[in-house]
Amino acid sequence: MELNSLAVLPDDLLCHIIAKTTLHDKIRLQLVSKKFRALLMMPPSGEGLWGQCDLSAVFSGFMVNGNDYWKYPQKFIEAGVRRWLVRRVPHMTRICCDTDTDEAAWVLCGLLPCSAPSSCCTARRASSPMLPCAASGRACQTASQS
Amino acid sequence: MPDIVLRSNDGADHKISASTARLSRTVASLLQDLEASKGEDAELLIVPIPNVCNCTLKKVLDFCEQQRAFDDLVRASPAAQQPEVTRKTQAWRETYMKVSTDELYHLVMAAHYLDVPGLLGLCTDAMADHIRGKSPSQVRACFGLKPNLSPEEEDDIRRSNLWALS
């Protein structure tokens, strides 16, 4: 390309592209420039620049299957991901986790339907206070607990 | 139904079917306006596409034609044959997206302007491939951007995301 020309992509188109990168990419992209940082600090709430993006793509980095962040120690990731999400998505209050596989299927309740298997959250029900997931009706762990 | 011609910004005409034209939401909207102003008896509707050159418009229309053909095929195929249709669609798209980065840039801009969701999805996937796994400096080089974050801002980002950036 003259990939230089990409510098002039409209913001909403840039959001479409950023949305499709992984969680790690999104975090690294904050270091690229003020513009990227500003885009990534906006809560992707279904309105504004991110409004045209497929929300499941926006959150693909958190969501499942083959994302490299699962290579990191689970506890560390849980804290990091939750902190990252809660700061950027102020209206997000709960996250589901498929504890049977101890990975995958983080779900932003109320934004996305829970894609976890039917056993979603059940393993933690005994040890953690649970709230019903706004999207699926199943129990979820509150984000603030981590 | 009148003939529909899309005219690129360098004056090349492309005659297409109405069903293909309407895969672009922008064209669909322009057609509505034209039909309203020219009446239902118009024999030819010429839609100027001022932001897209002939070469890119042809490529976009290739996608739309193929998309329409696949949609028809899906509707006509029994359920058992759907996976095969899907496989063929994916194979065609992979070949279609073997373009230079310069072509990709023009294609994504055209897909965005013409609002062709399927093509926009394909193009943004390809663009995201340019970003995945790259360091901030590699992305900057790729996008022709200069670093403009202050050292304090950079530190703040790094401190907040130690788990991912270390």
**Nearest CA-CA distance, residue A81 and chain B, Å:** 9
**For residue B92, how many other CB atoms are within 10 A of its CB?**
16
Q: Is the separation of the CB atoms in B8 and B52 below 8 Å?
A: yes
For residue A109, the enclosing domain spans 3-145
Give A65-79 as a DSSP string: SS-GGGGS-HHHHHH
Domain count, chain A: 1
pLDDT computed for residue A94 by the predictor = 40
SS3 (DSSP) at B43: coil
Give yes or no for residue B90 having a pLDDT over 70.
yes
Chain A residues whose beta carbon lies within 8 Å of the beta carbon of residue B124: 13, 16-17, 19-20
Give B79-142 as a DSSP string: GGGHHHHHHHHHHHHHHHT---HHHHHHHHHHHHHHT-HHHHHHHHHHHHHHHTT--HHHHHHH
**Nearest CA-CA distance, residue A88 and chain B, Å:** 12
Residue scoring higher pLDDT (A144 or A7): A7
pLDDT in tens, B23-79: 999 999 998 888 877 776 677 889 999 999 999 999 999 999 999 999 888 888 888
Tell me the pLDDT band of B155, cut-offs 50, 70 and 90: very high
Most confident stretch, A32-46, A101-115, B8-22: B8-22
- B101: nearest CB among A3, A77, A80: A3
Which is it for strands A107-108 and B3-7: parallel, antiparallel or unpaired?
A: unpaired
pLDDT computed for residue B23 by the predictor = 94
pLDDT computed for residue B144 by the predictor = 76
For the residues A42-60, what does the mean pLDDT come to? 49
pLDDT computed for residue B112 by the predictor = 94
**For residue B44, how many other CB atoms are within 10 A of its CB?**
10
Q: Is the separation of the CB atoms in A53 and A15 below 8 Å?
A: yes
A76/B128 Cβ within 8 A: no
pLDDT computed for residue B150 by the predictor = 95
Chain A residues whose beta carbon lies within 8 Å of the beta carbon of residue B125: 20
Buried b (16+ CB within 10 A) or exposed e, B59-89: bbbebbebbbebeeeeeeeeeeeeeeeeeeb
Q: How does DSSP classify residue A112?
A: B
Helix (H) or strand (E) holding B73: helix B54-76
Give yes or no for residue B111 having a pLDDT over 70.
yes
pLDDT computed for residue A39 by the predictor = 78
Q: Which parts of chain A fold into alpha helices (H)? A: 11-19, 23-29, 34-41, 55-58, 60-63, 74-88
Tell me the pLDDT band of B100, cut-offs 50, 70 and 90: confident
**Residue B96 backbone phi and psi in degrees, to 5:** -60, -40
Tell me the pLDDT band of A7, cut-offs 50, 70 and 90: low
Q: Which amino acid type is present at position A119?
A: S
pLDDT computed for residue B77 by the predictor = 82
For the residues A60-80, what does the mean pLDDT come to? 38
Task: Catalogue all structural domains in chain B, each as residue range(s) with its CATH number.
Answer: 3-132 (3.30.710.10)
